[in-house]
Amino acid sequence: MNETVIEKIPIAISSCLLGQEVRYDGSHKHNAYITQTLGEYFEYTAFCPEVAIGLGIPRPTIQLVQVEGQIRVRGSKDPQLDVTERLQDYARSVVPQLDGFCGYIFKRASPSCGMERVKVYRNGNPLGTDRGAYAAVIMDCLPTLPVEEEGRLMDPVLRENFIERVFVYHRWQQFKRNNFTTAGLVDFHTVHKFTLLAHDEPAYRELGRIVADVGNADLNTFADNYFQFMMQALRKPATRKTHTNVLMHVMGYVKQDLTAEDKQELLEVMDKYRLGQLPLIVPITLLKHYLRRFPDEYIRRQVYLNPHPDELMLRNTL
């Protein structure tokens, strides 16, 4: 039997999302899309900061509160219970363990794990929002690590954005492990050009200029700065307009080989995609068909055309 074994990508996750009964009331928040669909490609390691710092199950609920201009994590009913430093210290102890991980999926709205928009209270009244105390430290210490919340993963654009970044991060780690040379970095950049273009055209141009100078720089420092810039650009979600721009660029590599009818059909399909009448997978599939007939090595290697497994169907929704 000739079975392809897929190397799963290591991802950290809030324990309750895997179905572990670790919430304050002993319940869980199992998310089937995360465990089943993404679980085919991701290998999860679970962290529950509130259990890890010894709050126990069940435990008193905690919340973010503003006290004298500072955000603290305190017991909702018992303000004497303040776990801010314990959560932050635990997060700092987790950071080195995340070496080799390619993403983190957090539980939304948690005063510990929420990555944004967690309610902050003052004198019992909602005041605004902030990040969970544990998630904030992880994100600050690992600014390039792709992070997302389970709620936002239900949005098709945010979902594709996160998964695409996870795969970019994974390829970057492979490059650093196996081919960490100036030529390797130039190649990494080259194959991600259209991906960058789809997310952030000014960053695509700027990074092109920066990479042209790589020969004059210390590779370690250069690589860190380059990747930080790149991951920041990729956080900007691609839109129908920016994808259409990339599709036109790709078309430029085959159009001289197409008949007038084929060209017309391709342009119509791309326009229907731009107008929201077709999903992205349709023009991409048609372009790939022409690229197989009229191969071009530079385009064939563009990650943009195969950024993540087709089975995830991330480009199939309108």
Per the CB < 8 A criterion, the answer to whether 214 and 185 are in contact is yes
Residue 267 φ then ψ, to 5°: -65, -40
In angstroms, what is the minimal distance from the CB of 54 to ligand SF4? 12
Exposure b/e, 287-317, CB count within 10 A at least 16 = b? bbebbeeeeeeebeebbbbebbeeebebbee
Q: What tokens appear for 184 in the block? A: 């390797």
Position 84 contacts ligand SF4 (CB under 6 A): no
In this structure, the chain runs to a length of 318
Q: What tokens appear for 248 in the block? A: 């036109």
In angstroms, what is the minimal distance from the CB of 185 to ligand SF4? 36
Please identify, among the stretches 93-101, 107-115, 170-178, 249-257, the one whose residues bind ligand SF4 according to the rule CB under 6 A: 107-115
Footprint of ligand SF4 on 48-77 (CB under 6 A): 48-50
CB-nearer residue toward ligand SF4: 48 or 303: 48
In angstroms, what is the minimal distance from the CB of 22 to ligand SF4? 5
CB-nearer residue toward ligand SF4: 50 or 200: 50
Position 23 contacts ligand SF4 (CB under 6 A): yes
Position 15 contacts ligand SF4 (CB under 6 A): yes
CB-nearer residue toward ligand SF4: 94 or 250: 94
In angstroms, what is the minimal distance from the CB of 23 to ligand SF4? 4
CA distances from 120 to 114, 175, 213 (A): 12, 41, 46
Footprint of ligand SF4 on 110-129 (CB under 6 A): 110, 112-113
Counting residues that bind ligand SF4 (by CB under 6 A) gives 12
Q: How far apart are CA 249 and CA 236, in angstroms?
A: 20
The answer for residues whose C-beta is within 8 angstroms of residue 252's C-beta and 6 or more apart is: none
Interaction site with ligand SF4 (CB under 6 A): 14-16, 22-23, 48-50, 107, 110, 112-113
